Structure 1
Amino acid sequence: MPCYRCGARQTDPVRGASPWKRGVRHEAQVLVCPDCQRVHDLDLDTCASCGSVALICRLGEVECRSCGAVRLARSNDPLVPAGRPDPAGRPGASGQTNSPGLAAEVEAALNRVLGRS
C-alpha cells in the first residue's frame, strides 16, 4: 500500500520498527511515509474523545490507540470509550456490536475467503 499523500511505495524495512505510520482518513486505513509525516496538516481523522490521530481501522470499526475509544466505521457516531456504553444506550466495545448483521457479514466474508460453500 502506498503513502496516501505522495504515493511513495514502502520498501523492505531494515531491522527495527518501520518508520511508516498508520492512520485513518475518511474511514479507511492509510499509510504515511516518513517524508509526509513531517507535514503538520496530514488531514487524518481524529478521535472525538481525545483528539488523537492514532487511529486504526479494522473489521468495520475505528479504534483510538490513545484512549481506547471505538466506533463503527462509515458512520457519524462519536467514538465510545472501550467497554462502556455510550449515552444513547448503544453498546460500546464490550463484546457487543451495534449492528445485528455484523456476525453474518463476517461469517460470509470468512466463507468467501476460505472457499467454503
Structure 2
Amino acid sequence: MPCFRCGARQNDPVRGASPWRRGVRADRQVLACPLCQLADGWDAELDRCARCGSVALLCRLGEIECRDCGHTREAVREDRPAEPFPVDPGLAAEVEAALARVLRRRTGV
C-alpha cells in the first residue's frame, strides 16, 4: 500500500519498528511515509476517534478501532470508489521484474 499523500511505496522492511504510520481516511486504512510525516499538519487529513479525538485508528473487518482509547465503530461503506493513489509509471515493470525473480528462485529449488 502506498503513502496516501505522495504515493511512495514501502521498501523491504528492516529490523525494528517501521517509520511508516497507519491511519484511517474516509473509513479506509492508509499509510503515511516518513517524509510526509515531517510536514506540519499531515495528520489533519486522517479520520479521528469520536470519543478521544486520536488519529491512531485501525480499520479491520469492517470496523474502526481507536488504538488509544479502544473505542470501536462500524466502518461506513458507501458505494463510491476508493480515492486513487498517485500513479507510479514504473510500478508495473518493477512488479513484473520482482515476480520473475521470485518465480525463478522457486522453480529452481
Which letter does structure 2 place at the counterpart of 1:4? F
Larger relative CO (CA 8 A, sep 6+): 1 or 2?
2
Which deviates the most, 20-29 or 34-43?
34-43
Q: Identity rate of aligned residues, in percent?
A: 68
Q: TM-score, normalised by structure 1?
A: 0.61
The corresponding residue for 2:7 is: 7
Residues 63 and 11 of structure 1: CA distance in aligned 2, closer, same or farther (over 3 Å): same
Q: TM-score, normalised by structure 2?
A: 0.66
The corresponding residue for 1:51 is: 53
Q: Cα deviation per residue 1:56-78 (whole Å; 9 max; x = unaligned)?
A: 00000000000000000007xxx
Contact 2:36 2:42 in 1 (8 A): no
The corresponding residue for 1:88 is: none
Q: CA deviation at 1:41?
A: 3.5
- RMSD across aligned positions (CA): 1.1
The corresponding residue for 2:16 is: 16
Q: CA deviation at 1:15?
A: 1.1
Where does structure 2 lack aligned partners over 5 or more consecutive residues?
Answer: 78-109
Alignment of 1:1-117 (within 5 A): 1-39=1-39, 40-42=41-43, 43-74=45-76
Where does structure 1 lack aligned partners over 5 or more consecutive residues?
Answer: 76-117
Distance in 1 between the 2:5 and 2:42 partners? 11
Which letter does structure 1 place at the counterpart of 2:38? R
Which letter does structure 2 place at the counterpart of 1:17? A
